[in-house]
Amino acid sequence: MQLKLIQSGGLAWAIIYAAFIIWIYATEPRTLREVATNSQVAAGTYQVDQEKFNNALGMFRREQFRAARDEWSRADPGTQDAVTQFYIAYSFYREGWGRVYDDDTLFKQGLEAVARAISLAPNQSLRVDDPDLQLHTAAELKAELEQGTEQSLGDLNPLKVFRKRK
């Protein structure tokens, strides 16, 4: 009986350990903190640090976009929250937007962030009802960012300087 118990326990332990190894090589965490974050994600207990999120939102409203992004990345270290990723993308948009021309590098980073937000959102659809923003859905933000990176004859239009940042 005892041998049977050792055998069953050993088998269960080996399977769990092997699954953990496969998971760790699949998720490739870079630090022990990331291991902990990934474990929370896998266990379904992952939550964004709300205090840091709100701090970042304050910075975003004060147009401190880089600082806001840093704080958001600390609030969502596992890049698992759709809303946080949406705001990160929005900060790239606002920082990269220019009256004469847009910063392609920042817009591309914004596109990556908004793609993450869309993939994380339920049904791939995300709406953020923030009165401070003019683009409320991830799809609108994505379209705006894509438009900013595309080259067209409209770029030569001098009236472009009168457009407004959203």
2 sits near another protein (criterion: CB under 8 A): yes
Q: Which stretch binds another protein (CB under 8 A): 1-9, 66-74, 94-102, 135-143?
A: 1-9
15 sits near another protein (criterion: CB under 8 A): yes
21 sits near another protein (criterion: CB under 8 A): yes
Amino acid at 146: E
Q: Which long-range contacts (CB under 8 A, 24 or more apart) does 126-129 make?
A: 126/82, 126/83, 126/86, 128/83, 128/86, 128/87
For another protein, which is the closer residue by CB, 25 or 162?
A: 25
SS3 label, residue 114:
helix
14 sits near another protein (criterion: CB under 8 A): yes
For another protein, which is the closer residue by CB, 23 or 139?
A: 23
* DSSP 8-state class, residue 44: T
* Backbone phi, psi, residue 11, to 5°: -65, -45
Q: Which stretch binds another protein (CB under 8 A): 2-10, 128-136, 143-151, 156-164?
A: 2-10
CB of 66 to another protein, least distance (A): 20
25 sits near another protein (criterion: CB under 8 A): yes
Closest CA to 85 of 42, 47, 52, 114: 114
- Residue 7 contacts by C-beta under 8 Å, 6 or more apart in sequence? none
For another protein, which is the closer residue by CB, 12 or 143?
A: 12
Closest CA to 114 of 97, 131, 128, 129: 128
For another protein, which is the closer residue by CB, 30 or 164?
A: 30
Binding site for another protein (CB under 8 A): 2-4, 6-11, 13-15, 17-18, 20-21, 24-25, 28-31
